[in-house]
Amino acid sequence: MNWPINQRMPNCPLKTDQTDLLLDDAAGTLARRGLDAATMAALSEHMETCPECLAFRAGQKMVWAALDLWEPGPVSQDFNRRLWQRIEAAAAAPWYTRLAESLRMTSWKPLIPLAAAMLVIAGGFLLDHPTTKKTSDVTIIEADQVEQTLDDIQLLRQLDVTTTQSTSQTNQTKM
């Protein structure tokens, strides 16, 4: 057999990554590929004798027939009118409405991983630079300072009492 389309031939198209040939054969579109006469003859000879390719062809033709059952049906009669209305409305709309409209049909799902990644980065940054630790430090420092101040005030009071007592004793002595 002559197989100019693939040097690995002669072999079954199923075993040589040329399944598209079989798809085209089943669809009846093989002629569109512009294969030369020798290749076409070799392929058709192979297709008549290879049980695997015959089974593939039969299965594919069954799928083709099944898909032919699905006819899409009629389109709304006012499709064009509605479209022109939308075109006119889009042309007359302010810039922010046009922006919102263009965003409306846009999928935001691809941005979800990005947002998740940003959250992870932000979380990592916060863990690395914890603001709560600073706050607790400040709280501890403030508490210490208050305690110290209270001690100082108490000491000053004691000192003041002592000073007052000593002054009154001195005055009594003088008198």
Partner 1 sequence: MLQGVNTITGTAPASDLDAQLMLRVKDGDEHSFTVLLEKHRNPVIHFVFRMVQDRAVAEEISQEVFLRVYKSRETYEPTARFTTWLFRIATHLALNWLRDGKKERGHQRLDAPAKSEKDGELPAREVSDRRPSVEQRMVYETKLQEVRTAIALLPEKQRAAVLMHKYEEMEYSQIANVLECSESAVKSLLFRAYETLRSRLAHMAIGEARS
Query: Which residue, 48 or 108, is less far from partner 1 as judged by CB?
Result: 108
Q: Does 64 bind partner 1 (CB under 8 A)?
A: yes
Among 1, 38, 54, 63, binds partner 1 (CB under 8 A): 63
Q: CB 95 → partner 1: shortest distance, Å?
A: 13
Residues in the chain: 175
Q: CB 16 → partner 1: shortest distance, Å?
A: 12
Cα first-last separation, the chain: 143
Among 6, 11, 16, 19, binds partner 1 (CB under 8 A): 19
Q: Quote the DSSP letter at residue 101.
A: H
Among 107, 131, 171, 172, binds partner 1 (CB under 8 A): 107
Query: Which residue, 62 or 116, is less far from partner 1 as judged by CB?
Result: 62
Among 59, 66, 64, 56, CA closest to 21: 56
* Binding track over 71-90 against partner 1, x by CB under 8 A: xxxxxx--xx-xx--xx--x
Among 110, 114, 127, 171, binds partner 1 (CB under 8 A): 110
Size of the site for partner 1 (CB under 8 A): 35
What is the sign of the dihedral through the CA atoms of 26, 29, 34 and 36?
Answer: positive
DSSP per-residue string spanning 148-159: HHHHHHHHHHHH
Query: What are all long-range contacts of 7-13, with beta carbons under 8 Å and residues at least 24 apart?
Result: 10/42, 10/46, 12/46, 12/50, 12/52, 12/53, 13/43, 13/46, 13/53
Q: CB 146 → partner 1: shortest distance, Å?
A: 57
Q: Does 11 bind partner 1 (CB under 8 A)?
A: no
Among 38, 35, 19, CA closest to 27: 19
> Where do contacts with partner 1 occur on this chain (CB under 8 A)?
19-20, 23, 27, 29, 32, 58-60, 62-64, 66-67, 69-76, 79-80, 82-83, 86-87, 90, 105-110
